[in-house]
Amino acid sequence: MQVKKKQLGKKIRQALLGALLVLFVASIYTLYFFYHKSTVIEKSIPAYRYQQKGELAYLVKLKPNNIYPEPILGPGKTYFTKLIDQINLSFNYRFSGDKAASLKGAYNIVATVESPEMWRKDFVLVPQTGLTTEGKTLTFNKNFSLNLVSFHEFLKMINEESGVSAREPKLIIKANVYLRAASKEGLVNEGLAPTMIIPLTSGEFKIGGENSTQKSGSLSKTVVVTDPAVKKKRTAALIPAPMLGLLLILFFFFTENKLGEVDERKKVIDLIWRKYGERLVKVQEKVLPTEKLNIIPLNSLEDLVKVADELGKPVIYQEKANPGDFPVLYVFESSIAFKYQPGTDKDIGPGH
């Protein structure tokens, strides 16, 4: 069974075939690229997660007074120095990991009396104390009290010895914690230092500082995993290549160049030169006479040749400036120009 092919212009068919071929080659390259690209990648994932938190909490114990009915004030208030008996503090710490580890560390609590940019003096409130346990968590609580009067007396002594009153004196309470967690995934070395700041003023004050701090972190390890993006792209690359290949084959076998496509102008010009070439004198448009001519148009090239024969004149063949236009043929006699411009081959005359 003969299949009728679709006729297309030669240039159009060649352009479409070229475009399909380029797309097909590109799809083959894409397929080759993704099938030679590794589907596994190295990825960093958490191997041991941990977090820790330390907090300095406090309550202010008051001397008997006529202002406050209660003997103890909680945090975040304004306090009068002369009414304070002592400050009760509590340091709470917790370290927790998502896996068991060997937990070892130490902590101490230090009070520092300081006059910024002048001098400072440290006092150990809680000496260094070791910590050790096995498991996922380590917690402890340490209660201690602070006699604020003793620090005011120390400040007064320094002022008297130096002869200079301290500028903006303050008492800084700092709890220093150091911890080492040894797990199967590696070592963690961490530390925390929550602080409390008490202005050493003789009037009223508020307690500030960063009395609660926390940290979190993790140890990572590298694993080899399948890259889902490459797998998806590899699957997607399987589709275009065979489809474009099939389309290219079908287009090639079921289309053909359109038959009988001939340039009509070229056909007419070839016929003129074939029949009358020995009678023609070819000139450019710009070399023709520029004086005013009486132009007589003729209906056929055969009529123009007859006039040339009768007058004994040559037939002038003039190309037009526009390559798409038909040429013009003349026979000149004084101020008369006999003219013929073909439009189709039927204008040339009989016998063609």
Look at residues 225, 224, 243, 227 and name the one whose alpha carbon lies nearest to residue 30: 243
pLDDT band at 81 (very low <50, low <70, confident <90, very high): very high
Give the pLDDT of residue 124.
96
Residue 90, by phi and psi: left (phi above 0), alpha (psi -120 to 50) or beta? Answer: beta
pLDDT tens, residue by residue, 84-128: 999 999 999 999 999 999 999 999 999 999 998 899 999 999 999
Give the pLDDT of residue 175.
96
- With 70 as the cut, is the pLDDT of residue 209 above it? yes
Query: Residue written as tokens 């340490």?
Result: 142
Produce one character per residue of 55-79: b if its CB has 16 or more CB atoms within 10 Å, e if not.
bbbbebebeeeeeeeeeebeeeeeb
pLDDT band at 347 (very low <50, low <70, confident <90, very high): low
| Geometric angle at alpha carbon 234, from 233 and 236, rounded to 5° | 60
The arithmetic mean of pLDDT across residues 155-166, rounded, is 91
CB 200 within 8 A of CB 169: yes
Q: Which of 57-61, 66-70, 220-224, 304-308 has the highest mean pLDDT?
A: 57-61
Give burial (CB, 10 Å; 0-12/13-18/19+) of 169. Answer: buried
pLDDT tens, residue by residue, 167-192: 899 999 999 999 999 988 889 999 99
- Model's pTM, two decimal places? 0.55
Report the distance separating Cα 331 and Cα 109, nearest Å: 123
Q: What is the DSSP string of 224-292?
A: EEE-HHHHHHHHHHTTHHHHHHHHHHHHHHHEEEPTT---HHHHHHHHHHHHHGGGEEEE-GGGS--S-
Give the pLDDT of residue 349.
54
Give the pLDDT of residue 348.
59
pLDDT tens, residue by residue, 40-73: 677 788 889 999 999 999 999 999 999 999 999 9
How far from 130 is each of 104, 108, 214, CA to CA, in Å?
Answer: 8, 9, 20
- With 80 as the cut, is the pLDDT of residue 324 above it? no
Tokens read off for 261:
């496509």
Give the pLDDT of residue 351.
44
Q: Which of 33-47, 193-207, 261-275 has the highest mean pLDDT?
A: 193-207
The arithmetic mean of pLDDT across residues 206-211, rounded, is 93
Give the pLDDT of residue 93.
96
